Amino acid sequence: MSVPIINLAPNLPVSRLCLGTMTFGEQNSLSQSFRLLDEAFDAGINFFDSAEMYPVPQRSETQGRSEEYFGRWIRSRKIPRDRVVFSTKVAGPSGQMTWIRGGPKCLDSRNITEAINNSLHRAQIDYIDLYQIHWPDRYVPMFGETEYDPKRQYDSISLEEQLDALGKAVDAGKVRYIGLSNETPYGVMKFLQVAEKVACYPKIVSVQNSYSLLCRTFDSGLAECCHNERISLLAYSPLAMGILSGKYFKQDGGPDAARLNLFRGKYSEGESRYNLSNSTIKAATMEYLGIAERHGLHPVSLAIAFVLRHPLVASAIFGATQSWQLQDTLRACKVELTCEVMAEINRVHSRFTNPCP
C-alpha cells in the first residue's frame, strides 16, 4: 500500500497522510513508536509532525520526547535525511507550561531561536523541513472557542520580529519552510502582508488547522485566503480525536486506553473541544456513522476520505497508538466518496454545523 505524494512547496514532496507523534513518549514507548514509524514509512508515509511541547497531555517530565523519539528512529534505521519530511512547532504564549522557556511568555526572537535550536538538539538533526508557530502570539479564540472578545487582546510580539527570527533560521539552514497553526484569516493575511514588504522574510507555505466532519470552520474565510495565496491546509484531528471512529459511543464507552478515557480530567484542551457529553457532538457522529454503514464504508475511511478530498488539503495529520489504527487510516487513502455520500454528509452538516470548532 503506497500513500500518494503531493508537493507542499518546491522540493518538498509530502505524503497525503502525515503521522503525528503527539503520543510518542506518553501513550507509546520508544519501541512502540519505532514500530509505528516503521509501518508508516514502509507504507509510503514520508511526512511526520511533532512539536516542542509534545507528547500530550503536556508534562515537564515528558516534554520533548516526541521529537527525541523521531530523531532516534531516523538514526536507528539509518534513514537518509532527505527521505523524510519532519515538521515541528514552537509553542506560543502559555502561562501553564512553565517548563518551556519559563512560560513561554512570548514569541520574540530569543524564544523562537531557542526553540528551534532545542528541537534540532532533541531530534539530533541538522535541519527542520517545516517549522510552524503552534498558536499565535496574540489573543485568538481557539481550541473550542468561537467568539472573539476584543477585551482579551494583549500586547504581542510584532510579526516583523517573528518573521525576522524565522528568516534567520532559514538563512542559517536550520529550517527549510515555515507555516502557521491554529491561525485565522486575519493572521494568515497579515503574515503574508509583512513578508511581502521585506525580501528576506520567508513566505508562509502552510497552515495547520483542525478539519474534519465535525469541524469545517476552515471553509468559512480561511479557505479563500489559502486558495488565493497558494497556501496548503495541513488538516489535524481528521477523526476529531477518535470520536469519528465511533468508539466512544459504543455501549462500553470505548477502550480504557482511548485518549479521552485514559486522560479524563487531565487534558483540558482536548476535552473542552471534544466533549463526549455534548449531545450535538454525539448526534452528529451517530449520523456520520450511519452514512458509513449504509454505504459499506469503515467510519475511519469516511472521515479521512472526506478530509483528503478537499482541494486545499495537502495532508491529513493523524495519530495512532496501535498498528491496526494505522492500517485503518492507510486504507482510507484508497476510498473515494461518491456524490451521493457527499450529499448525505452535507445534509448532516447543515443540521449539526461544526460541533467541534
Give the residue carrying C-alpha cell 482579551: 152
* Under 8 Å between Cβ of 87 and 50: yes
The pLDDT value recorded for residue 40 is 98
Does residue 356 lie within any of the structural domains? no
pLDDT digits (tens, 9 = 90+) for 94-137: 888 999 998 888 999 999 999 999 999 999 999 999 999 999 99
Whole domain around residue 298: which residue ranges?
5-351
Q: How many domains does the structure of the chain reveal?
A: 1
Q: What DSSP state is assigned to residue 353?
A: -
In a domain, residue 214? The reply is yes
Query: Is 69 annotated in the active site?
Result: no
User: pLDDT over 90 for what percent of the chain?
Assistant: 89
Give the CA count within 13 Å in the CB-facing half-sphere of 282: 9
- DSSP secondary structure letter of residue 51: -
- Provide the mean pLDDT of the chain: 96
Arithmetic mean of pLDDT, 180-186: 98
Confirm whether 204 is domain-assigned. yes
Closest among 254, 233, 234 to 244, alpha carbons compared: 254
**Cross-strand bridge partners of residue 208:** 181, 234
Strand partners, 5: 15
Average of pLDDT values for 90-95? 91
Q: What pLDDT is attached to residue 70?
A: 98
97: in domain? yes
Reading the block at residue 55, the C-alpha cell is: 507528547
Query: Which residue in 188, 70, 182 sits closest to 129, CA to CA?
Result: 70
Q: How far apart are CA 187 and CA 217, in angstroms?
A: 15
> Residue 134: inside a domain, yes or no?
yes
CATH number at residue 105: 3.20.20.100
In terms of DSSP H, where are the helices of 138-184? 159-171
pLDDT given for residue 193 in this prediction: 97
Q: Is residue 154 part of a domain?
A: yes
Residue 210 has pLDDT above 70, yes or no: yes
Position 1 pLDDT exceeds 70: no
Q: What is the pLDDT of residues 301-319, one digit of tens each?
A: 999 999 999 999 999 999 9
Confirm whether 357 is domain-assigned: no
Query: Regarding beta strands 5-9 and 12-15, do their DSSP bridges make them parallel or antiparallel, or are they unpaired?
Result: antiparallel
Q: Is the residue at 273 inside a domain?
A: yes
**How many residues are there in the chain?**
357
